[in-house]
Structure 1
Amino acid sequence: MSKNLVIVESPAKAKTIEGYLGSDFMVKSSFGHIRDLPGKELGVDVDKNFEPKYEISTDKVKVVNELKKLAKGKEVWLATDDDREGEAISWHLKEALGLDDNTKRIVFREITKTAINKAILSPRAIDVDLVNAQQARRILDRLVGFQLSPVLWKKIRAGADRKNLSAGRVQSVTVRIVVEREREIESFNSKSSFKVVAHFLVEKNKVLTAELSKNFEHESEATKFLDDCKEAIFKINSLEVKPTKKSPTAPFTTSTLQQEASRKLGFSVLQTMTVAQKLYESGKITYMRTDSMTLSQDAMDNAKNQIVTAYGEEFSKPRVFKSKDKGAQEAHEAIRPTDFSVQEGGNDRNEKRLYDLIWKRAIASQMSDAIIERTIAKIGISTREEELTASGEVIKFEGFLKVYLESTDDEDEDNKDMLPPLNEGQILALGEMKATERFTRPPARYTEASLVKKLEELGIGRPSTYAPTISTIIKREYVIKEDRAGLQREYREFLLKDKVVNSSVGTENYGSEKAKLFPTNLGIIVNDYLVENFEDVLNYKFTAKVEDEFDDVAEGKVSWQNMIKSFYDEFHTKIEEAEGADASKSGSSYELGVDPESGKKVFAKIGRFGPYIQVGEATDEDKPTFVSVKKGTLISNITYEDAIAILKGPKLPLELGLYEDNPIVVNEGRYGPYVLFDGKYINLDKGEDPLTVTKERAIELIEAKKNTPDGALPRTMAEVDGEAVTIAKGRFGPYIKHGAKYYNIPKTEDPVTIDDKRVGELIIEAKEAAAKKIIREYPENDKVKVLNGRYGPYISIGKRNVKIPKGTVPEELTLEDCLKLGEG
């Protein structure tokens, strides 16, 4: 029987570690935190030096009882993560299990046999300072959230479910960053200028591209330049060859991993951390929550061996990276593979892709500089003082570029091509020269990754907080992440060719957005209210200062109670003031002016179903009238002129007349604008305004729908097992309906041409796949099953899906357990 009990927080981690320790060790999981502040009360006694009231989470009672039994008569080793959160979990385990103060605490940053055995040989006590830093964060965030959120419930009248409104110390500041960027974009005035690019014909049919370093502000200046170049002689005035080098970037920290995984793999911040957690727990990478750029000497030696073996001695250059962040924990390591000789890791495609990214970044950090030869040609114009510039690069030695190059958020970034052979004094033949109108662009909206970068720059939050913070503001619908179609605009272009200048007007798309973060009306309203009434809480410098104070607590420099007291007294006074303030100034309603026809006040408001214009007030003799505004419109942007135009213009639903004796109706629904015709819903193109759709455009969409293969759906197929079968198309694509069951049709199958035999095969395949998902069934109640889904096990009760609490073993659930969870 095992003499030792090792407790970790993750079952996957427990499984990996158990494989490295002998039979004397039993490894069990706490399934994360076991104790927390109560969910339905403040749980902090502000009159007793902020004493917290911790309780065992209801879904962890069984886990705690089991661990208590297992701990009896055994040496207990607390092996939770090596950070503040992990230290706190160990402390809570010690308290809840009634363990001795001398209970052994072991830490490691990678789950390998060497690291585990080394940790066993050097146990320590629980670091109370780290625990207090985590307690300070948890208690301060509880005080802010628990006392500020009810103020929002009382003051914000935005048609939202009041309990869905919340505020948080980091969450609200993050929303502020997104809102302020949106306002920068709104106030930005784009200016046009003319960029000149010339193409010269050189020997062997090669083209040399050169640009003028400045843009012309006015059309007349651009055309004058082209006119002057009609008879010009173009000569290479100087040719400069500069050897230069490019150095690799540091191995990944949490935030740089999130940014690069977003750019290169398209991962969200949460997805990156979820996949990285799996790689860590399976022993493939070091701990994924870190702000350190450092590699251990063992890791550097391991990387060097791999580089020399794979690429040669000249590609190796050991490097030590230091963080500029004074709070970075250099004793920890950057994110790296646990073994550089393992070039592929992970159990699924995403794990393999992220592991590959981590491996390449870490190995590249220990490689030689890339040696680059940069050539810059200055081209003189005989009729002008300006010079054109052509530049190019050639890689003389790949160095780290053989493995990896960091991506960039700069959309204008491009690689410079190698120039054709050139000589100083060489006369160039002009092929053509263009002066093209270009427009300045507003600041870019944030992606999840660039928002993380901004938070890190401002010193707001820490590696463990980025992903949950961004997930929260999206879940609360303060911010929406989506793609948006761009708009079209005209631009002018002047072309000099064969000594003649011609002008033309082209069109281009601009402003399209992919996976960007936009503030919602609700987000703006809540932000404006909080900034006006709690500016200190939403102040960037203050929020960063609090993070520094947490660091001071972790280092034992400051008492956590004193740190919280210095914040709380003033904060609580502001809460009391806000509760007594006028609720009409919540920002959910904007008075715009007076309706010229009725003489009543006109408001822009936000309601449960989106923005709308209201004419009149509830106190008027006649009831107010309401007109919906296009979804996505920010009410803070609606002017009086906009409101009057909306009131006078067409309104949804919009009837466009008859076609083939059926009415055509345009409307907007939950999934966007559509045309309703003969009982069928036909979506408008993304970005198309339903209020501007003409009858001709609607008929075009109707006919297009008829002529597409989907127009042949639904189809009736042969019965299978005595039950009717139809094929139709729904919101998520084509599907088979067999009796009362629905099955998706794979993308490889054509729902219009698929035959009866293949449909029968797909039904059998789908049933077999469904059977594999079943973890437990109950003969006494066939409506209840425990299933394995895309996001893990869950309980299916009839048509409802019920989440299984953390710490519960799905295979052990009885029918009574399932029904109880269903009631909850």
Structure 2
Amino acid sequence: MSKLVIVESPAKAKTIRKYLGDGYEVMASMGHIRDLPGSQLGIDVERGYAPQYISIKGKEKLVKELKSAAKQSDSVLLATDPDREGEAISWHLANLLGLDVDAENRVTFGEITKKGVTDGMAHPRSIDKDLFNAQQARRVLDRLVGYKLSPFLWRKVRRGLSAGRVQSVAVRLIVDREKEIEAFQPEEYWNIDAQLSAQGSTKKFAARFYGTAAGEKRAVLNQEQSDEILANLEGKEFVVSALTNGTRKKVPAPPFITSTLQQEASRRLGFTATRTMRAAQTLYEGVDIAGVGTTGLITYMRTDSLRVSDEAVTAAKEFITGEWGEKYVNKTKRTYKSKNATAAQDAHEAIRPSNPALTPAEVEKSISGDTAKLYRLIWSRFIASQMADALHNTMAVEITAGEYLFKASGYTVAFDGYTALYEEATDEKEKKETALPPLEKDAKLKLRDLSAEQKFTQPPSRYTEATLIKELEENGIGRPSTYAPIITTVIDRGYVERDAKKLAPTVLGRTINELMMEQFPSIVDVHFSAQMEKNLDKVESGDADWVSTVDSFYQDFDKTLKQAEENLKDTKIKVPDEETDEVCEVCGRKMVIKTGRYGKFLACPGFPECKNTKRIVKSADGECPLCGGRILIRHSKKGRIYYGCEKNPTCGFMTWDEPSAEKCPKCGKTLFKKGGKNGNLVCITEGCGYTTPIKK
């Protein structure tokens, strides 16, 4: 007779089986084993919101096998993931297999390594009822909102739509940002820059116009003001009037939590949140590494906690000492305060490599693709977080010219510290600083060039996945584990679309958002949703009853829904057609975008008189280097973008490289981008060979 250990996935089962050895049988539940029914509400609202759980269809054979294995075992240990969902799966397994839910049969693994599994098995506990009730409350709330609101949308708009506690807020944020962009009125301003050098030096540096010599800041709002300043500067000496030298410390970013991992993987690797979590799950559950065997490479990837174990810190410092020397080690243990971590969530560590000594270079001998890229990111961020601060010698210079003041700043690296390995990416464009030459107060400078450039203020940017996740997190909407599925849902529903990695609302998304704002204002209210999350966190910490929490929301929601039904009793809301510049070749009308079973297509608005339809094709920059036709954006079966000639199959041109709007100065053909942002523009015309760096 053996002990039965039940985990969620076969990959995790395979890794754990290796560490447990003889005397244990490890099986996978393949995720959730029971859930609410798919064809009905499945919640008894009149009897304390009791959920009516059923076994998930298609898992009958697995349930039978689990029951049989449990009967033949000495004991059963529930080793599902260490979070709300994992706790719920363990609770359902206990009920399904007839186990005592109060028995100490629940084990969790912060990392799937020999040490992690041994520690977990040594500390069994009973199922955390508060953690389970928090998951149950969220599931019930989401079911009530989804199953009550979705049919309302089907009746009033069209079938296939949905609304939700978090997804509707996410859509509102994206629509509100689009409205800001559309309402934005650009304002003109001018930058005046002087290219200067110290006397006897040829090295130039830039200084920008600030204002009056008295130190009063002055904006240059039009060409007339710019021309006046340039005229007044004619023949004036540029003199260093003030010089400030200093030092600044740059502190590394903390290790990743779920949300920051999703954001950084989006910025650096171009990963969607779903893609990031898929790769992270694989790294956590275990991969086969040459010389090591099957092992989990990172700690659990769904966490709000920034806590790091002393053992991991020690291992990181040992690696840093061996690789860069002792001066690169931060002398004290860095501690970071978690923003949203509840007591239960803080049971996990931050996301870190389970063995800091296992470098990306070593791991990449055995794995590749998304898992290798993400491991390198997680490993680098964690190791850098335990390295010494970077130190910069800074210089700020004020330069007087006649009645005006210019300013310049720069720095030199005194000690690179953690930046020898890693620096966090940002969503905003940072002002680039360069080193300034040695300067002295009252020194006269040589003017090399004086220029003025017209600029216009820019509207706020559309959200990317990274910035939307950051916005949701900062406002306390949803939880990190929900961000990936929420973004997938709003795109799948057709409310939002990706446009060059930016998230833009569709006409349908705007229509649904407007309806929700009018009829269900609390559902799409950011502050209301954030308070709801806090209430659910109280259930998790044991400070609130889950039934009362659900009831306080549902009573108002039910009244609002009945009122909305009354308000729109005889109304059917039409989603406006999105007009395009494409002209119908049959009748001459401008075609509109429609959405069908297989996605978007172009249709003539003259239907049913004119039934002309066609596929939507998007053009890229440039022209086909073979025949001069349009280059179209295509998608491979796996969703990867490539570029092909519109005259295919007559013209067989296609490439993975993105075309640019620039022409080759040698042969006049389109130049293509190779090597990403830091790559080159290359002419791929046979026999040409022209190449030039991409301008930043």
TM-score range, shorter chain: 0.7 to 0.9
1:81 paired to 2:81: yes
Q: Deviations over 1:482-514 (max 9, x none)?
A: 22xxxxxxxxxxxxxxxxxxxxxxxxxxxxxxx
- SS of equivalent to 2:481: coil
2:615 to 670, 674, 686: 670
CA distance in structure 2 between the partners assigned to 1:711 and 1:568 by the alignment:
54
CA distance in structure 1 between the partners assigned to 2:648 and 2:459 by the alignment:
45
Show the counterpart of 2:543.
Answer: 557
CA distance in structure 2 between the partners assigned to 1:326 and 1:713 by the alignment:
55
1:254 paired to 2:199: no
1:452 paired to 2:462: no
Mapping for residues 334-353 of structure 1, pairs under 5 Å: 334-344=350-360, 345=363, 347-353=367-373
CA contact (8 A) 2:4 2:27 kept: yes
2:248 to 244, 249, 255: 244
Show the counterpart of 1:330.
Answer: 346
Show the counterpart of 1:210.
Answer: 207
1:393 paired to 2:411: yes
C-alpha displacement at 1:550, in angstroms?
Answer: 1.2
CA contact (8 A) 1:269 1:467 kept: yes
Q: Deviations over 1:624-680 (max 9, x none)?
A: x995466599xxxxxxxxxxxxxxxx9999xxxxxxxxxxxxx9842237xxxxxxx
Show the counterpart of 1:802.
Answer: none
CA distance in structure 2 between the partners assigned to 1:467 and 1:706 by the alignment:
35
For 1:556, give the aligned amino acid.
Answer: G
Q: Which moved more, 1:68-77 or 1:283-292?
A: 68-77
Show the counterpart of 1:165.
Answer: 161
CA contact (8 A) 2:305 2:341 kept: no
Q: Deviations over 1:549-604 (max 9, x none)?
A: 11111122211111111111111111112122236777636xxxxxxxxxxxxxxx
CA contact (8 A) 1:252 1:293 kept: yes
For 1:405, give the aligned amino acid.
Answer: E
Q: 1:107 to 1:668 in 2, by over 3 A?
A: same
For 1:343, give the aligned amino acid.
Answer: T
CA distance in structure 2 between the partners assigned to 1:429 and 1:629 by the alignment:
61
Show the counterpart of 2:291.
Answer: none
Mapping for residues 406-805 of structure 1, pairs under 5 Å: 406-411=424-429, 413-483=430-500, 515-582=501-568, 588=574, 605-606=576-577, 610-611=578-579, 628=590, 669-672=614-617, 704-705=628-629, 714=649
CA contact (8 A) 2:410 2:434 kept: yes
For 1:366, give the aligned amino acid.
Answer: Q
Show the counterpart of 2:118.
Answer: 117
- SS of equivalent to 2:304: coil
Show the counterpart of 2:176.
Answer: 180
Show the counterpart of 1:311.
Answer: 324
- SS of equivalent to 2:346: coil
Question: Identity of counterpart residues, as a percentage?
Answer: 43
CA contact (8 A) 1:238 1:424 kept: yes
C-alpha displacement at 1:169, in angstroms?
Answer: 0.7
Q: 1:314 to 1:21 in 2, by over 3 A?
A: same
- SS of equivalent to 1:704: coil
Higher relative contact order (CA 8 A, sep 6+): 2
CA contact (8 A) 2:155 2:572 kept: no
Q: 1:233 to 1:752 in 2, by over 3 A?
A: closer
CA contact (8 A) 1:520 1:632 kept: no
Q: 1:703 to 1:89 in 2, by over 3 A?
A: closer
CA distance in structure 2 between the partners assigned to 1:730 and 1:242 by the alignment:
54
Q: 1:451 to 1:706 in 2, by over 3 A?
A: closer
Q: 1:523 to 1:421 in 2, by over 3 A?
A: same
Structure of higher CA gyration radius: 1
C-alpha displacement at 1:352, in angstroms?
Answer: 1.2
Show the counterpart of 1:47.
Answer: 46
For 1:552, give the aligned amino acid.
Answer: K
Show the counterpart of 1:368.
Answer: 388
CA distance in structure 1 between the partners assigned to 2:111 and 2:646 by the alignment:
56
**Which runs of 5 or more residues in structure 2 are unaligned?**
211-217, 287-295, 582-586, 596-603, 632-642, 658-673, 675-683, 687-696
For 2:23, give the aligned amino acid.
Answer: D
For 2:432, give the aligned amino acid.
Answer: N
Q: 1:225 to 1:322 in 2, by over 3 A?
A: same
- SS of equivalent to 2:58: helix
Q: 1:577 to 1:268 in 2, by over 3 A?
A: same
- SS of equivalent to 2:274: helix
CA contact (8 A) 1:194 1:222 kept: yes
- SS of equivalent to 1:394: strand
Show the counterpart of 2:304.
Answer: 291
- SS of equivalent to 2:4: strand
Q: 1:430 to 1:704 in 2, by over 3 A?
A: same
Q: What is the CA RMSD across the aligned residues, in angstroms? A: 3.1
Q: 1:226 to 1:268 in 2, by over 3 A?
A: same
CA distance in structure 2 between the partners assigned to 1:465 and 1:626 by the alignment:
46
- SS of equivalent to 2:469: helix
CA contact (8 A) 2:186 2:459 kept: yes
- The TM-score with structure 2 as length reference comes to 0.82
**Which runs of 5 or more residues in structure 1 are unaligned?**
157-161, 484-514, 590-604, 614-624, 634-649, 654-666, 674-683, 689-696, 716-726, 734-746, 754-824
Q: 1:232 to 1:528 in 2, by over 3 A?
A: same
CA distance in structure 1 between the partners assigned to 2:185 and 2:647 by the alignment:
49
For 2:219, give the aligned amino acid.
Answer: N
- SS of equivalent to 1:319: coil
CA distance in structure 2 between the partners assigned to 1:47 and 1:446 by the alignment:
41
CA distance in structure 2 between the partners assigned to 1:709 and 1:535 by the alignment:
46
Show the counterpart of 2:229.
Answer: 225
CA distance in structure 2 between the partners assigned to 1:415 and 1:573 by the alignment:
55
Q: Deviations over 1:153-181 (max 9, x none)?
A: 1112xxxxx33211111111110010000
Q: 1:586 to 1:24 in 2, by over 3 A?
A: same
Show the counterpart of 1:235.
Answer: 239
Q: Deviations over 1:671-698 (max 9, x none)?
A: 237xxxxxxxxxx556x9xxxxxxxx9x
Show the counterpart of 2:270.
Answer: 266
Q: Deviations over 1:411-464 (max 9, x none)?
A: 2x1431111222222211111111111110111110011100000011001121
Q: 1:526 to 1:394 in 2, by over 3 A?
A: same
CA contact (8 A) 2:497 2:506 kept: yes
Mapping for residues 113-152 of structure 1, pairs under 5 Å: 113-152=114-153
C-alpha displacement at 1:390, in angstroms?
Answer: 1.4
C-alpha displacement at 1:712, in angstroms?
Answer: 9.6
C-alpha displacement at 1:704, in angstroms?
Answer: 2.1
For 2:464, give the aligned amino acid.
Answer: T
CA distance in structure 1 between the partners assigned to 2:644 and 2:466 by the alignment:
40
- SS of equivalent to 1:59: coil
CA contact (8 A) 1:36 1:55 kept: yes
CA distance in structure 2 between the partners assigned to 1:342 and 1:702 by the alignment:
48
- SS of equivalent to 1:67: helix
CA contact (8 A) 1:652 1:668 kept: no
CA distance in structure 2 between the partners assigned to 1:294 and 1:122 by the alignment:
20
CA contact (8 A) 1:199 1:207 kept: yes
Show the counterpart of 1:776.
Answer: none
Q: 1:630 to 1:421 in 2, by over 3 A?
A: farther
CA contact (8 A) 2:33 2:92 kept: yes
CA distance in structure 1 between the partners assigned to 2:167 and 2:646 by the alignment:
46
